[in-house]
Every structure is written in structure tokens, then in C-alpha cells.
Chains A and B, each alone.
Chain A
Amino acid sequence: MKLITAIIKPFKLDDVKTALTAVGVNGLTVSEASGMGRQRGHVEVYRGAEYAVDLVPKVRIEIVVDDAEVAAAVDAIVKAANTGKIGDGKVWVVPVESIVRVRTGESGTAAL
């Protein structure tokens, strides 16, 4: 099993969700995040005082999938989240040791 974490542009969340559903991923966790990369922040002005806002709002998606589904899931995210402009985000994959479904106590791939 693998944990896939994707940082994407907030307005791409719906597209990514649809794409993941299409490749059979039914569960995901979404959180609001902010961060910085090559995409620069923006400037805000309050009564003439300029503030450089470094951190850009992003959405973080986390899913745990079976090893066989990793490639398809990552591919789905990358295609759906791509705009071709700087700041599209990142996707990374790390191994997961174990997983338990809280309701039933099932573990391993049965819990996915």
C-alpha cells in the first residue's frame, strides 16, 4: 500500500476528484493548505501599505491505495490538476506499513 499526497491548485479539486473516482479511488482526505514553491506569492495593499504575501493557498489531497493502483491514481491526479502554468503543485508517494478500518477492525487492503 502507498500513501499518495498531492498538493494542487484549489480550483482543480473538483477535476481531480472526478478523475480519481474514474480510476476506482473512492476515498480521499482533503485539507486546505498554504505553501510556497517556484510560484511567487502576491502583493496586498491596505491603506497604501504593501504586504508581500509569500504563501499561496493550495489544497492537499491524501489517498491510500493498493500498490497496483498507484500508477493509475498518480497519473489521474497529474492529468487533472495540470494547467501548464507555474504553481500546479506536486504529487508524491510513500509506503504505508498498515491500515485499519475503524468501524470493522479490518486491516490491510480490505480496509481500503
Chain B
Amino acid sequence: MAAIDTGDTAWMMISAALVLLMIPGLALFYGGMVRSKSVLNMIMMSFSALGLVAVLWILYGFSITFGNSVGDAGYVGDVTEFLGLTTLVNADSVIGTIPAPVFIAFQGMFAAITVALISGSIADRAKFGAWLVFAGIWATVVYFPVAHWVFAFDDFVATTGGWIANDLGAIDFAGGTAVHINAGAAGLALAIILGKRIGFGKTPMRPHNLPLVMLGAALLWFGWFGFNAGSAVGSNGLAGVAFINTIGATAAAMLSWLLVEKIRDGHATSLGAASGVVAGLVAITPACASVNAIGALVIGAVAGILCALSVGLKFKLGYDDSLDVVAVHLVGGLVGTLMIGVVGVEVGLFDGGGTEQLVKQAIGAGAVLAYSFIATLIIGKLIDIVMGFRISADEEQAGIDVSYHAERGYELSDSSQGGLSGASKGA
């Protein structure tokens, strides 16, 4: 058994906490973008994903992701191997150079945020209970296996890992495929299942609180250092490379998104800056340890431009991906994953690597995209048939916060009046 490295352990505990912080960050980023009548539901979809997925991760998710690959096929880990984590959560278990519980915690946060990311495509209109059912099934059937494909390396946690990491050899350092392409494709499928919001494309659906969006984007960027540099699973040089690239690509993407806006719309907007930041973070995620500083700037700049241009697709094609999960996460994830094959050090087309790695990257990205999209269509449709996924038109017009959570986000003047009705149930 390998010895525990204290520096690695300290960094990985901090990284796990940083990735956790991305989830409330995402909640604010998304929450500010919806209308004020659905801000709480938007935030709750992220928060509840954290609650539910963390529990599933402990019960059986880690085992499906990092258990020995069933039949050594590389598709899904053995769910019985670490069921309930009973053999791993103790003071003596080690994975790599860190305590096993720290590795489990870090990877568990990835599962939670991936599920939360999807919620952006179904703002204002999904039954809260149906969302929770979806989150649980999707994590189980889609995220855990796909994370096994991508993140489970042979002889790290278990002897045999996933097919993308080991057999194909596509590079995905921190989750361009497993997290972003996965969530983006699922977001597209779910937006199609749920249909458009009432008035989509006709009535204004302006972001109700842009400072909240900016704060959320800033928290995401901060937390993303744990996401990317933490994916080195150690406090080392690779983490340092990922760290600086998480700055460079993100900064470049912010600038290029603003440039697109200035040229196309005439104004550089704060929402554009926040969106560019997230697009850059998404794109550098798979590539952060495989490119040099200039490569990171190029990936960021390209992601900012392509993501900004992709936002208009939903109006042209007629799907209501409310907060642009497709344009930011699917497109950004594809840009980062594919561009490893272009600007990646030694493996990229521009660095003497030929097209071999690019082909591998495309196969990995395509497989995750197709599996996630089709599986999500099926899961979403089944939930819609069994329990109904969408709230009624009345509830939607009144606002999902009041209809489903019996709360409203803001009380700006104390003039609502009224008193307690009936006995307080909480007392």
C-alpha cells in the first residue's frame, strides 16, 4: 500500500471543497438568469442535485464509477465492489497518494455538479419531484457509467477501468466529455422533452438579476481551480499547469465572447462576460494539462467565439434550452475535447502529433454525446409518461416558486399583509 502524501492530501481536500462551492455558484449563475418568479426553483434544482447525488454516490455511485469494470469490458464498474463505501471509508485506505475518502469526496462533487448543470435547460417549467427522480436516474444510468469510461484508469482504484481512458486513450483531464458534453447533450434532450416555455421567443424573458449571475460566474471560476488543478489528484507540477491554464483560457474566452457581442450586437454586456468566463472554463477542462499557455489562450478564444455564436441556435431550431446549456457546455466541451488533438503538446496536429489523437478525441466525444442524448431522451420521456415532467400552464404563469415551493425570492417592500393561516406546522 502506498504511503499518504500530506501535501497531496491537503490540496485534494481543498479541491473537493472548491468543487462543492461551484454548485451554489452555478445556482446563483443560473438563478440570476431566470425571471424573478422562478429564481428559487432554479437555485433549488442545483442544491437538490447536490443533496441527492451525494447520497447516491456514497451508497453505490462510487462503486459503479470506480469499481472493477464488469467483464473487463470498460463500460460499467462493479456496483457491489464498494457498495456503501464500507471497505474504503476508514483511516487506513489509500488511493494513489491520498486517503481513499478524500478521493471519493472529490469525485463525488463532480457527479453532483454534472447533474446540476443540466437544470439550466429546463428553467421555469419542470415539476420539482420529477426533476429529483430524473436526477437520481440520470446519475445512475448516465453519469456513473460515463465517468467510469472516462475517469477510471486501470490499476488506480480497481484493476480494470473504463474504455475511453484505457482502450481508446482519449484525453479528458477534468471532464470535458464526462461532465460537460454529457450534461450538454442531456440538457438538449430534456429541453426537447419538456418543450418550450409559454411565450418563448415572443415575450421577454430577461435575466432578473445580473449581479447574481456575475457573482455565480466568479464563484464558478474560483471553484474551478479545484475542478481542474485538483484533477491532478496531487499537489504537483501537473496541477500547476492546469491552474495557470484555468486562468489563461478563461480570460481569453471572456474577451472573445465580448468581442463577438460588440461586433454583432453593438454592446459588450456583463452577461456576455459571465458567459464567456464559463465557456472558457468548460473548454479548458479536458485540455488543461495537455496544452501550453498559448494553447490554452487559443482554446479559450475559440470557445468564447463559438459558444457565443451557438446561443442563437435555439431560436433557429426551436428548442428552449433556457440558459444555454447546449451553447456553453456542449459546444464548449466539444471545443476543448477536440482541440486537444489540434494544439495539445506532442499529441496535437500543430505539435507534430498528426491526426491520431484528434480522431481518438472525436470518438470519445461522439460516444458520450450520443449515449447521453439518447439515454436522456428515454429517461425524460418515461418520467413524462409516468408522472408528468412539466408543470401546468397556470402554475407556470403564476411562477414555479409560488406554485411548487410556496415561497418567493424577494420581499422588497413589507406590504403583502395577511397573517398566519392556521397553526404553524413547523412549531
Interface string of B59-88 (1 = CB under 8 A from A): 000000000000000000000000000000
Q: Which residues of B contact A11 (CB under 8 A)?
A: none
* Stretch in A47-55, A70-78, A102-110 with 4+ CB within 8 Å of B: A47-55
B272 within 8 A of A: yes
- A46 pairs with B206, CB closer than 8 A: yes
The tally of CB-CB contacts under 8 A between chains A and B is 28
Q: Which residues of A contact B271 (CB under 8 A)?
A: 46-47
- A48 pairs with B312, CB closer than 8 A: yes
Q: Which residues of A contact B264 (CB under 8 A)?
A: 48
- A47 pairs with B206, CB closer than 8 A: no
- B265 pairs with A45, CB closer than 8 A: yes
A44 within 8 A of B: yes
Which residues of A line the B interface, CB within 8 A?
A: 44-51, 53
Task: Give the total of B residues in contact with A, Cβ under 8 Å.
Answer: 17
Q: How far, in whole Å, are A53 and B265 apart by their CA atoms in the complex?
A: 16
Interface centre among A45, A50, A53 (most CB of B within 10 A): A45
Q: How far, in whole Å, are A47 and B278 apart by their CA atoms in the complex?
A: 13
**New A-B contacts (10) at CB < 8 Å, excluding given A47-B271, A49-B315:** A45-B261, A45-B267, A46-B206, A46-B207, A46-B271, A47-B311, A48-B311, A49-B311, A51-B204, A51-B206
Q: Which residues of B contact A50 (CB under 8 A)?
A: 265
Within 8 A of A (CB), among B271-322: 271-272, 275, 308, 311-312, 315
Q: How far, in whole Å, are A45 and B204 apart by their CA atoms in the complex?
A: 11
Q: Which residues of A contact B311 (CB under 8 A)?
A: 47-49
- B207 pairs with A48, CB closer than 8 A: no
Interface centre among A48, A50, A51, A53 (most CB of B within 10 A): A48
Q: How far, in whole Å, are A50 and B272 apart by their CA atoms in the complex?
A: 13
Q: Which residues of A contact B90 (CB under 8 A)?
A: none
Q: Which residues of A contact B275 (CB under 8 A)?
A: 47
Q: How far, in whole Å, are A53 and B203 apart by their CA atoms in the complex?
A: 11
B236 within 8 A of A: no
Q: How far, in whole Å, are A51 and B261 apart by their CA atoms in the complex?
A: 15
Q: How far, in whole Å, are A48 and B275 apart by their CA atoms in the complex?
A: 12
CB distance from A48 to the nearest CB of B (A): 5
Which 5 pairs from chain A and chain B are nearest by CB? A51-B204, A45-B265, A47-B311, A48-B311, A46-B271
Taking CB as reference atom, which chain A residue is nearest B323?
Answer: A47
CB distance from B316 to the nearest CB of A (A): 12
Taking CB as reference atom, which chain B residue is nearest A44?
Answer: B206
Taking CB as reference atom, which chain B residue is nearest A49?
Answer: B315
Q: Which residues of B contact A49 (CB under 8 A)?
A: 311, 315
- B315 pairs with A45, CB closer than 8 A: no
Q: Assuming A51-B204, A51-B206, is B269 touching A46 (CB within 8 A)?
A: yes
Interface string of B218-244 (1 = CB under 8 A from A): 000000000000000000000000000
- B206 pairs with A48, CB closer than 8 A: no
Q: Which residues of A contact B204 (CB under 8 A)?
A: 51, 53
B324 within 8 A of A: yes
Q: Which residues of B contact A47 (CB under 8 A)?
A: 271-272, 275, 308, 311, 324
Q: Which residues of B contact A48 (CB under 8 A)?
A: 261, 264-265, 308, 311-312
Q: Which residues of A contact B267 (CB under 8 A)?
A: 45
Interface string of B187-204 (1 = CB under 8 A from A): 000000000000000001
CB distance from A64 to the nearest CB of B (A): 23
Interface string of B164-204 (1 = CB under 8 A from A): 00000000000000000000000000000000000000001
Q: How far, in whole Å, are A49 and B275 apart by their CA atoms in the complex?
A: 14
Q: How far, in whole Å, are A25 and B264 apart by their CA atoms in the complex?
A: 51
Q: How far, in whole Å, are A109 and B390 apart by their CA atoms in the complex?
A: 60
CB distance from A69 to the nearest CB of B (A): 32
Q: Which residues of B contact A44 (CB under 8 A)?
A: 206
Q: Which residues of B contact A46 (CB under 8 A)?
A: 206-207, 269, 271
Taking CB as reference atom, which chain A residue is nearest B269?
Answer: A45
Q: How far, in whole Å, are A49 and B272 apart by their CA atoms in the complex?
A: 12
Q: How far, in whole Å, are A4 and B342 apart by their CA atoms in the complex?
A: 71
Q: How far, in whole Å, are A13 and B267 apart by their CA atoms in the complex?
A: 29
Q: Which residues of A contact B308 (CB under 8 A)?
A: 47-48
Taking CB as reference atom, which chain A residue is nearest B327?
Answer: A47
Taking CB as reference atom, which chain B residue is nearest A51?
Answer: B204
Q: Which residues of B contact A45 (CB under 8 A)?
A: 261, 265-267, 269
